[in-house]
């Protein structure tokens, strides 16, 4: 099987990170108690992103952690690839199996807090989508770049495919559908179409000046149409657990155009509103309206506000400061566009691989905080007056990538 090479996908644009390694000794802690307060899963990695070591741990806690805690427990699972993760119900998904083979790995957590392998889809790309317990979608490049694969998440078995070869554009070196974005809303599947080059294979090499999605009816698995948004380069960046889109509490899908391969000239967030199947051409959120050469990789939309992350300085075209400690969280009023900083937090890293950087759990909003200089690896909870306070900190176990409650 192939090994997941997320670092290669990053270095495609610039080889800027120093090679380093870090390891943590497994510490003996009491076995995870019962889960009367709920199962909360965390992922940590051995070293800050940009180092060559991407091994790490899945750990579980009873209730949302507090104070100083650890992610290395008796029942923690050591994994070869830790670059963000996702959950669905009681399931945990990673974009590689325990040994590091690329694909979609499913785990459950038993009553003793042990992670149990529940199936693996080889070659499935990180842009996979779980629609419900019986239906999911993914891209397997070996089965075709213009085919979306279907699977049953309960059994982790492939069940069919949707052939979209009718959308092939002549004269394009590299064309792929669903590599960076697969999302769903109101019975429709939205699959991002990438037009790139054979050299970079769709990572920051868009050869068109628009975003295009295929719109597929989920009930019949048939192509309905394609939709476009002019003036932007590709949505998402399919290399991690970060899906780079969010469903707002207003029922709209919000997509992030990172502009990673375009020197951050026009990173933006666009949307498809509730009840619609086309892009909302009357609305766009541009990073450059707030800071020159920024980029979006995370957002939460709630009560007419959009929470996201901005750098404190313009990003360099060679990405040399992308992973520097220059990032702050802000909230934007969707009606006025006014931006307000979230106070009480340190500078943090770019939310590159974290699908849980801004997370709502049980009605509370939490912010991911990774700052190796200040030895902060945890989450902050939003309080009054747009001020946050730290809830927990990982005392050992490396960099935290995210936390999620199993429902």
- How confident is the model over 291-308, as a mean pLDDT? 97
Lowest-pLDDT choice from 13-22, 264-273, 354-363: 13-22
Residue 285 — very low, low, confident or very high, per pLDDT cuts 50/70/90? very high
Lowest-pLDDT choice from 42-46, 152-156, 214-218, 380-384: 42-46
| pTM of the predicted protein model | 0.91
- How confident is the model over 88-106, as a mean pLDDT? 96
| pLDDT (0 to 100) of residue 54 | 80
| pLDDT (0 to 100) of residue 46 | 83
Rounded Cα distance, 371 and 374, in Å? 6
Q: By the 8 A CB rule, do 377 and 342 touch?
A: no
pLDDT tens digits, one per residue of 48-76:
655 555 889 999 999 999 999 999 989 99
Sheet containing strand 285-286, strands side by side: 245-247, 253-257, 268-272, 285-286
| pLDDT (0 to 100) of residue 4 | 46
| pLDDT (0 to 100) of residue 395 | 86
Residue 150 class from Cβ within 10 Å (0-12 exposed, 13-18 middle, 19+ buried)? middle
| pLDDT (0 to 100) of residue 21 | 35
**Is the pLDDT confidence value at 340 over 50?**
yes
| pLDDT (0 to 100) of residue 44 | 94
**Is the pLDDT confidence value at 175 over 50?**
yes
Percent of the chain scoring above 70 in pLDDT: 90
Average confidence score pLDDT of the chain: 91
For the chain, domains (ranges, CATH) are 6-123+243-405 (2.120.10)
């Amino acid at each position: 099987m192939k090994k997941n090479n997320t670092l290669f996908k990053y270095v495609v644009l610039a080889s800027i990170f120093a090679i380093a390694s870090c390891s943590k000794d497994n510490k003996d802690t009491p076995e995870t108690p019962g889960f009367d307060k709920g199962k909360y899963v965390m992922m940590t990695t051995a070293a800050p992103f940009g180092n060559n070591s991407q091994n790490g741990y899945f750990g579980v806690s009873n209730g949302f952690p507090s104070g100083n805690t650890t992610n290395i427990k008796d029942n923690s699972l050591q994994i070869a690839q830790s670059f963000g993760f996702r959950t669905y119900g009681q399931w945990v998904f990673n974009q590689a199996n325990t040994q590091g083979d690329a694909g979609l790995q499913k785990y459950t957590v038993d009553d003793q807090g042990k992670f149990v392998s529940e199936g693996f889809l080889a070659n499935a790309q990180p842009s996979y989508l779980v629609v419900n317990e019986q239906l999911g979608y993914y891209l397997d490049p070996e089965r075709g770049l213009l085919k979306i694969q279907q699977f049953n998440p309960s059994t982790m078995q492939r069940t069919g495919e949707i052939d979209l070869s009718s959308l092939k554009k002549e004269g394009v070196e590299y064309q792929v559908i669903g590599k960076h974005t697969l999302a769903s809303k109101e019975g429709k599947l939205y699959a991002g179409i990438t037009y790139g080059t054979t050299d970079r294979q769709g990572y920051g090499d868009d050869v068109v000046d628009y975003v295009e999605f295929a719109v597929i009816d989920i009930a019949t698995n048939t192509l309905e149409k394609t939709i476009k948004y002019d003036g932007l380069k590709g949505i998402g960046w399919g290399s991690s657990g970060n899906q780079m889109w969010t469903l707002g509490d207003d029922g709209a899908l919000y997509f992030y155009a990172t502009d990673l391969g375009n020197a951050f000239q026009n990173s933006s967030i666009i949307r498809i509103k509730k009840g619609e199947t086309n892009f909302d051409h009357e609305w766009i959120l541009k990073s450059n309206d707030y800071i020159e050469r920024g980029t979006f990789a995370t957002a939460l939309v709630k009560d007419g506000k959009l929470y996201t992350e901005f750098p404190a300085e313009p990003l360099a075209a060679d990405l040399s400061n992308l992973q520097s400690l220059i990032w702050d969280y802000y909230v934007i009023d969707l009606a006025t566009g006014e931006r307000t900083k979230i106070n009480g937090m340190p500078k943090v890293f770019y939310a590159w691989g974290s699908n849980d950087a801004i997370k709502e759990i049980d009605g509370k909003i939490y912010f991911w905080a990774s700052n190796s200089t200040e030895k902060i690896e945890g989450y902050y909870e939003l309080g009054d007056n747009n001020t946050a306070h730290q809830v927990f900190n990982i005392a050992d176990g490396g960099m935290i990538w995210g936390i999620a409650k199993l429902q």
